[in-house]
Amino acid sequence: MNIAESSVRLPITVIVRVLLVLVFGYVCLTFLTIELKPDTEQPVLVVSTRFSGAAPEEVEGEVTTRFEENISGVTNMLYTQSFSRHGESLIMIFYKTGTNLDIAASELQRNLDRVRDLPKEVENPQIFKASDRVSLPVYQFALTGSVDLVTMSTWADKEIAPRIRRIPGVGDCQFDGNRNREMLITFDPERLKARRLTVSDIKRFIDRTNLNQSGSYFNEGTREWTVRTVGELLTGEAFRKVRISKPGEPILHLSDVAAVQDKYERPESYCRINGGQGIIFNVYSQVGANIISTIDQVNEEIRLMQQEYGPFGANFQKLYDQSNYIRDAVRIVRASLLEAIFLVLLVLFVFLKHWRSIFIVATSIPVSIVGTFIGMYLLGYSINVLSLAGLALSIGMIVDDAIVVLENIYRHRYEEGKDIVSACVDGTREVGTAVFMSTLTTAAVFVPVLMLKGEVGTLFGPVAFIISCAILLSLFDAFTVVPMLASRWMAEEKEPSGLMKKLMAPLHMLDRVGQKVSEKLVGSLRYFLGTPGRKAALIIGVLLALLGSYRILPGMGYLPTGGTNLVRIKVETYEGTSLDEKSRLMTILEDRWKNIEGVRHVVSIPNRNMPRNQIFLVCDREEDSGVNINKIAQQAHASATDLPLKAVDPVRFPLFGNMYSRSNVVDVRIRGKSYDVIEGIVQQIMEIGKNTRGVVFRYTDLYLRKPQVEVRVDDQRAIHYGFDVKDVADAVEAAVGGQRTTTQYDVEGRYFYIRVMGQENGIMNVSDIGRIILTSPQDPKIQIPLTSVASVVTTFGPLQINHYNSRRNARVQLTIQDRPLGEVFEEVVAKINSSVAFPVGYTYVPFGAVNELRKLKDAIKFVFPLSVVVVYLLLVMQFQSFIRPLSILLSLPLSIIGANFVVRLAGIPFDSFTILGYIMMVGLVVKNAIILITYAVQLIDEHGVERDQALVLASTRRMRPIFMTAIAMILGMLPLALRSGAGAEIYNGLAMAVVGGLSVATLFTLIFIPVMYT
């Protein structure tokens, strides 16, 4: 007893199996997380090390390079990037996908511990996961109000950020715009000189007074006592009373030589939200977190904090919420899924015209879709735009097998006159092999896709699995549920009468049109089968069409370039621009950009240490405002051309990649030893970008022209007066920007720095540096101007020194628009190779999306042929012949022709998702050819029908189910192909390629495949 017969005779078993699938599928659905897309985040660890007061060159030599030498061999490391800035070293270690970062961090710490003898100013390196530097925030909110900024900063540090971080699903919460307090001790150089004191003396007295120290413990009988010496200074008045006189000298307090103020730190940056001062918070999600649920909890926590802090003058304002985009994207795909189901049911109604037959076939849809949720849960997949798109794409394929089986059962029952049980069993058995092999080939096409690695593999894998799982479940339903239901519900179609006859009249008209088309196709088949010359003409015509379709195909891209409603604009000022001037320029931009249609919020962050200051534009959704966000970015760029700025680079937050690697950016790294040489190469490549069509923005991270004053100490002269280089450096640092003491002071559990510096207005120009008074630490009587032991020289230095795999490098990024990434990259590379001379030891490396695109091309060269080979071998197994399957595979050129023309005419980017559509076609288009040729072979081998007559007869008898299944698949994918809105760029190309390829292949398969079979 085969599976169809057992299903017919044991209907309760089939029903229970279906109910179990539905119940467990629904339960699994409730456990699936909801997100925008599968997580493609690359594991990254960051080593952050503070080196107070050090210039980028010192940070590079003393910290960055030494650390890089010790971490170069850590397990699973792909590459490193580092940034040596003023007072900070930042090293990013990128790991292979799947690396456990907790284990990696332990290994990294052991390697860092091997570095000895660092300068004493170097703080211990901190290791953290790089979610806030590589990923994109899922949520942004601002804290504004009438309360002072220091108080808000304290709230942000001690209350707000920790509360957000504790929410399940939140990976991190970072904030900008905060200001800290500091105890500023401004000494009077003349008073120090008169009392023969140095800055080092002041710092030493403060550190020895502002001190809490443990005194161990002792036992008193059975009781243990701990001992603690407390001398911590808690108020400005306490600092003023610090005694700074030496033993035997008159009593002298700190207030006698310096002013003591509890005030703000010198600002390193500002943050303005819609023109007002405040603090901006960026919230990042954990890997695998349910973003919608996480953001709902963040919103609730912010609502509670507004109630708590609102009475004190605080105002919490939501700026950006990715969950809205996710909800829109999921809603759109869900709507497409429902539309696909409706269209497929409409196709069934048009062809079957009987509600019982429609119901029998339609049962495959919910069972297959809900059953797929079980597989998704077991493999850890999520509900996202891609997984829902996979379900929507599979709708037409789900009913495919059920249609073929039901059509054949109907023919056995009413055309051959068999009883219902025999018709169900024989009808299912007759097409069982063809249906099984055709479905197996469709599913097998995705096996090579599941073998892909990296970002593309992470994105494509769930889609491939979901479609394969859905159609395999539908195959099982076609062999069990369909014959079981047909044996009980199928009835012969009766000619309608009365009102129903009038309602069905349009469908009968469609039947007549379909009959005419069928007759024309069969007539065309007989015509081309007539003579060898006609066959040759058909083959030549197909080949010419194939070649022509390749010529019109657009260049290749990597991933869809769409994005969210958040635009980050990097405003690059000229090196040496002061923070106040940056703030003034950015205020002008804020005033201009807030009036751009579609802009809802403007967040500005001028920064002293980075020439790339940031302005965030939070835009209305394109569906709501009707304004294209890319146009907003272009308008913002155009409105800044009259200001003295080096560059303005708008970046829309992408759907894929991150702010460092985006799908519409040609990213090139120039590597070498000397920045003078690298700078010349960078300028040439920037000029190439300027003259390349499609490049709209250019950017480089090379900053070599920051004006700086170098104090060059003469060792011999310094020794003569009793100084060493460190004495001179300390005096200069204290006079210009101040020096921090070793100890800090405590305000309600939050510690702030103590800074000792010269008079705030003491250094107003370069010449003032030379007049700094040095007091010898060995003999306070010796007091000389700085120029007595050093020369003061103005020069230029780097603002930041970048490394890639431990070598100096500079980045050039060319943002492109309205032109494929691969096409622009090939042109840029050709120009670089032909016009840029690289000295020995200097080279360039493609990076980011262009590098991934190269990997994708290599993968396609493997995946597409392997998919064809897998299909071919399965067909060989089915037909027990190595020759017959070749004719079936020749349906592929027909699908490629259709896909190429439709993709070009629709203006769809030829990116990786579109290519996935081409891979899907391999399994889909051969399905109809398998059904056709399998039946023809049966007629030839089992019934002795002449070959050409068998081919014509097979085309005639199988034309209806072939058209029905093909139209169902095409209409099932059409909503995704034509949909617009949030996330639509992800699946438009995939669906459009399948629609185009399947349409052409179906129409001509009935002619071309029989001809090739001969």
504 burial (CB, 10 Å; 0-12 / 13-18 / 19+) is middle
Angle in degrees, 0-180, between the axes of helices 385-410 and 947-978, rounded to the nearest 10: 150
pTM for the model stands at 0.74
Percent of the chain whose pLDDT exceeds 70: 92
What residue spans define the domains of the chain?
A: 1-31+354-492, 181-216+228-267+707-797, 519-559+849-1014
Collect all residues with Cβ–Cβ distance below 8 Å to 421 and sequence separation of at least 6.
Answer: 8, 487
Looking at residue 300, its pLDDT comes to: 94
Looking at residue 911, its pLDDT comes to: 78
CA distance 576 to 798: 11
Beta bridge mates, 45: 93, 129
H/E element, 37: none
Structure tokens at 178: 């905060």
Question: Is 496's pLDDT higher than 60?
Answer: no
CA distance 898 to 15: 41
Question: Is 363's pLDDT higher than 50?
Answer: yes
Question: Is 749's pLDDT higher than 70?
Answer: no
Q: Tokens 């990434």: give the residue.
A: 821
Note the pLDDT tens digit of each residue in 155-201. Answer: 888 889 999 999 988 888 888 888 777 888 888 877 877 777 878 88
Task: Give the β-pairing of 563-572 and 612-619.
Answer: antiparallel
Long-range contacts, stretch 888-891, CB < 8 angstroms, 24+ apart:
888/926, 888/929, 888/930, 888/933, 888/1009, 889/926, 890/1008, 890/1009, 890/1012, 891/925, 891/926, 891/928, 891/929, 891/1001, 891/1005, 891/1008, 891/1009
Asked whether 139 and 324 are in contact (CB, 8 A), the reply is no
Looking at residue 1013, its pLDDT comes to: 67
Per the prediction, the chain carries an average pLDDT of: 81
Looking at residue 627, its pLDDT comes to: 78
* 181-216+228-267+707-797 is a CATH 3.30.2090.10 domain: yes
* CA quadruple 699, 705, 708, 714: dihedral sign: positive
Looking at residue 234, its pLDDT comes to: 79
Note the pLDDT tens digit of each residue in 640-696. Answer: 888 888 878 887 777 665 555 567 788 889 998 888 888 889 889 988 988 888 888
Full strand arrangement of the beta sheet holding 139-145: 170-176, 279-285, 139-145, 314-321
Looking at residue 299, its pLDDT comes to: 93
Asked whether 108 and 91 are in contact (CB, 8 A), the reply is no
Question: Is 519's pLDDT higher than 70?
Answer: no
CA distance 904 to 994: 13
Collect all residues with Cβ–Cβ distance below 8 Å to 144 and sequence separation of at least 6.
Answer: 273, 276, 277, 278, 279, 314, 315, 317
Cβ atoms within 10 Å of 712's Cβ, excluding its own: 8
More confident residue, 1003 or 676: 676
Looking at residue 67, its pLDDT comes to: 92
Give the HSE-up count for residue 332: Cα atoms under 13 Å, Cβ half-sphere. Answer: 23
Looking at residue 937, its pLDDT comes to: 75
Cβ atoms within 10 Å of 360's Cβ, excluding its own: 26
CA distances to 43, 664, 862, 931, 952 from 97, in Å: 6, 23, 21, 42, 53
Collect all residues with Cβ–Cβ distance below 8 Å to 328 and sequence separation of at least 6.
Answer: 621, 623, 981, 982, 983
CA distance 164 to 177: 18
CA distance 533 to 541: 12
CA distances to 184, 397, 670, 720 from 199, in Å: 13, 80, 44, 21
- The one-letter code for the residue type at 408 is N
Cβ atoms within 10 Å of 225's Cβ, excluding its own: 10
Looking at residue 94, its pLDDT comes to: 87
H/E element, 742: strand 739-747
User: Residues 83-106: what's their mean pLDDT?
Assistant: 86
Looking at residue 514, its pLDDT comes to: 60
Please state which of the ranges 89-103, 389-403, 536-550, 602-616 shows the lowest mean pLDDT.
536-550
Percent of the chain whose pLDDT exceeds 90: 5
Asked whether 1001 and 895 are in contact (CB, 8 A), the reply is yes
Question: Is 507's pLDDT higher than 50?
Answer: yes
Banded pLDDT at 302 (limits 50, 70, 90):
very high
Looking at residue 298, its pLDDT comes to: 93
Q: What is the DSSP string of 221-287?
A: TTEEEEEEEE----SHHHHHT-B-PPTTSPP-BGGGTEEEEEEEPPPSB--EETTEE-EEEEEEEPT
Looking at residue 510, its pLDDT comes to: 62
More confident residue, 577 or 781: 577
**Ranges assigned E (strand) in 517-611:** 563-572, 599-605
Looking at residue 966, its pLDDT comes to: 80
Note the pLDDT tens digit of each residue in 447-467. Answer: 777 777 777 777 778 888 888
Banded pLDDT at 497 (limits 50, 70, 90):
low
Question: Is 136's pLDDT higher than 90?
Answer: no
Looking at residue 132, its pLDDT comes to: 39
Looking at residue 739, its pLDDT comes to: 76
Question: Is 307's pLDDT higher than 90?
Answer: yes
User: Residues 941-957: what's their mean pLDDT?
Assistant: 73
User: Residues 275-285: what's their mean pLDDT?
Assistant: 87
CA distances to 65, 112, 674 from 91, in Å: 10, 12, 20
Q: Tokens 């492109």: give the residue.
A: 816
3-state secondary structure of 565: strand
The end-to-end CA distance of the chain, in Å, is: 37
Assess whether the region 1-31+354-492 and the region 519-559+849-1014 belong to the same CATH fold: yes
Looking at residue 133, its pLDDT comes to: 43
Looking at residue 297, its pLDDT comes to: 93
Angle (nearest 5°) at CA 440 between 434 and 444? 145
Return the top range by mean pLDDT from 23-27, 336-340, 903-907: 23-27
3-state secondary structure of 55: coil
Beta bridge mates, 263: 182
Give the length of the chain: 1014
CA distance 825 to 857: 13
186 burial (CB, 10 Å; 0-12 / 13-18 / 19+) is middle
The dihedral region occupied by 848, where left means phi > 0, alpha psi between -120 and 50, and beta the remainder, is: left
Question: Is 869's pLDDT higher than 60?
Answer: yes
CATH of region 1-31+354-492: 1.20.1640.10
Question: Is 475's pLDDT higher than 70?
Answer: yes
Banded pLDDT at 611 (limits 50, 70, 90):
low
Note the pLDDT tens digit of each residue in 574-599. Answer: 877 888 888 899 999 988 998 888 88
CATH superfamily of 519-559+849-1014: Multidrug efflux transporter AcrB transmembrane domain (1.20.1640.10)
CA distance 820 to 561: 10
Q: What is the DSSP string of 392-404?
A: HHHHHHHHHHHHH
- The one-letter code for the residue type at 230 is V
Largest separation between any pair of C-alpha atoms in the chain: 125
Q: What is the DSSP string of 808-868?
A: EEEEEEEEE-SS-HHHHHHHHHHHHHHH-PPPTT-EEEEETHHHHHHHHHHHHHHHHHHHH
689 burial (CB, 10 Å; 0-12 / 13-18 / 19+) is buried
Please state which of the ranges 333-342, 754-763, 845-854 shows the lowest mean pLDDT.
754-763
3-state secondary structure of 422: helix
Q: What is the DSSP string of 663-697?
A: TTEEEEEEE-S-HHHHHHHHHHHHHHHHTSTTEEE
Return the top range by mean pLDDT from 29-38, 264-273, 664-673: 664-673
